[in-house]
Structure 1
Amino acid sequence: MQNLDYVFFRLDSLVMAIPTTDVRSVERAVLVSPLPEAPAPVVGVVNYSGEPVPVLDLRTRMGLSSREISIEDHFLFAYCSGRLLALCVDGVSDVVSIPRKKVREAESFWPGLKLLRSVSGHEGRIILVHELENVLDEGQEMELEEALCKAVGKVEAEDSA
């Protein structure tokens, strides 16, 4: 029996997960720089190893109340459509291996649901596996790319002056 490995994280009372293969690292939240013209749910950018990485507010994406990022929060650096993103989460709790037979594809019981890949049970809790490929739609991806290009171009122009 094959197992699937997930990183568990919290958003309010929700316990969510993403596959470990999508995760680059987990870091304490830091100051987020604004990114003008970025689409919601992008709240800004952080410097990650010298590169600007967009920060996403998953709370609003999941229908929860938005709030300011605090020092108790964490950034879950993960890949989405080939792009590194920082997902702002309340906390990261575990890396867990779940038997494949315990994971149920979200489409099988809730057709059209785009933000969840699958659902599983673990230690009496329901675990929602987030679908990172759908965290931004195509229009938001394009808006984000344009905002990043403008911001990087502006910084490069200021550095050369």
Structure 2
Amino acid sequence: MNEHDYVVFKVDSCKFAVSSSLVDKVELAVSLSPVPDAPYPVLGVVSDGGTIVPVVGVRRKIGNEERDVILSDRLLFSRLGNRKIAILADEVNDVIEIPPGMSQQSNQIWPGVFYLKSFAGMGEDIILVQDLNSILNSEQEKTLSEALEAFVKQGEIDTDD
């Protein structure tokens, strides 16, 4: 894989992509454990090899209602700084190459939409490239850290896989 390879995933009718270098693995979704006081877009957590991993959803960010996790959903495991995260997706399509000239910076079209890095027209599809470093702002990151610390102290999740 090269620096222009992206993992494409779908949420409702929207196609998103993240750099393949940021995706550790893709797994079938499992039931999420809710975390009190976690900021949106954190939907809950899962245990991955004994590590508590926050699961991020993008449905509300695109103006759609959240829904329960279903058996066909996928989790894209990635890193956000020092934190492991997972993105909830309806499906994961494939890995595609988006050459540098094929994408346009999203702030040129949607000013203020910080979680999108760029977008690319691929055939009949528009693919929205996620900026994982902006999916949580600094205040949300701080709130998440505090919520996870309290959650772990309460022993709400089994971290033994």
Q: TM-score, normalised by structure 1?
A: 0.89
Matches within 5 A, 1:143-154: 143-154=143-154
Separation in 1 of the partners of 2:93 and 2:44? 25
Structure 2: runs of 5 or more not aligned: 157-161
Deviation digits for residues 75-105 of structure 1, max 9, x if unmatched? 1112223321111110000101121111111
Distance 2:101 2:3 in 1: 8
Which residue of structure 1 aligns with residue 159 of structure 2? Answer: none
Unaligned runs of 5+ in 1: 157-161
Q: 2:120 touches 2:127 (CA, 8 Å); kept in 1?
A: yes
Aligned match of 1:117: 117
Between 24-33 and 72-81, the greater mean CA deviation after superposition: 72-81
User: Does residue 32 of the first structure (1) align with residue 32 of the second (2)?
Assistant: yes
**Residue 32 of structure 1, CA deviation:** 0.9
How many pairs does the alignment contain? 155
Task: Specify the alignment match of 1:80 in structure 2.
Answer: 80
In the other structure, the counterpart of 1:52 is 52
- Which structure dedicates a bigger proportion of its chain to helix? 1
**Percent identical:** 39
1:97 alignment partner in structure 2: 97
Contact 1:3 1:98 in 2 (8 A): no
Report if the CA contact (8 A) 1:3-1:99 is conserved. Answer: no
Deviation of the 1:3 alpha carbon: 6.3
Paired residues of 1:61 and 1:135 also in contact (CA < 8 A)? no
Q: Rg larger in 1 or in 2?
A: 1
Once superposed, what is the RMSD of the aligned Cα atoms? Answer: 1.7
Task: Give the Cα separation in 1 of the matches to 2:11 and 2:24.
Answer: 19
Select between 16-25 and 73-82 the one with higher mean Cα deviation.
73-82
Q: Which residue of 2 aligns with 1:19?
A: 19
